[in-house]
Amino acid sequence: MQPIVLASSSPYRQALLRRLGLDFVAAAPNIDETPLANEAPEALARRLASGKARALNDRHSNALIIGSDQVAWADGERLGKPGTFANALAQLQRSRGKTVTFYTGLCLYDSATGNEQLAVELYQASFRDLTDTQLRNYLIREQPYDCAGSFKCEGLGITLFESLAGDDPNTLIGLPLIRLTSMLRKAGIDPLANAT
């Protein structure tokens, strides 16, 4: 079986992939994630997922490499990782009472053959109309400054939402496991092939 490589240093993506019970290694792809001029969010997510997987080709020349990237989009604007409390608060203030669409690009790249499976999964989060105090309290408690959209839905961030819509809740965290499982099976790897 070809080794599996996750092209990500994200602890959130690594934790999600561990749920499939497969052995893998993680490596940072170190690519430029700057959007192109007038690049649509879906195109950006697709390009970056593929770019991250292919960036590890030289280091892992006979592997199945998983690349993933997420673009949060609201009112024609990209919501990145805030980095600071002030940026996170501003993002959440802009998002309250609105629906944010998350475009998560997913690539499974076979570095031995050059074959690539590529998809973009959508997930929508409708935010509650919360007060500044509630938003500040959330940020102080969870500190999601390394998360696109300024929240962790797998934690207290779930309280920020009125509703969530999409095919796979893992998409919102950053790695669509349902689609990834289909891609892995197509590449000859079934997480349910063994009982141990």
Given 69, 110, 167, 168, the catalytic residue: 69
On whether the CB atoms of residues 54 and 109 are closer than 8 A, the answer is yes
Q: How many CB atoms lie within 10 A of CB 27?
A: 18
Specify whether 69 is catalytic.
yes
Q: CB under 8 Å to 120, separation ≥6 — which residues? A: 42, 45, 46, 49, 103, 104, 105, 106
Provide the β-strand partners of residue 77: 74
- Catalytic residue numbers read 69
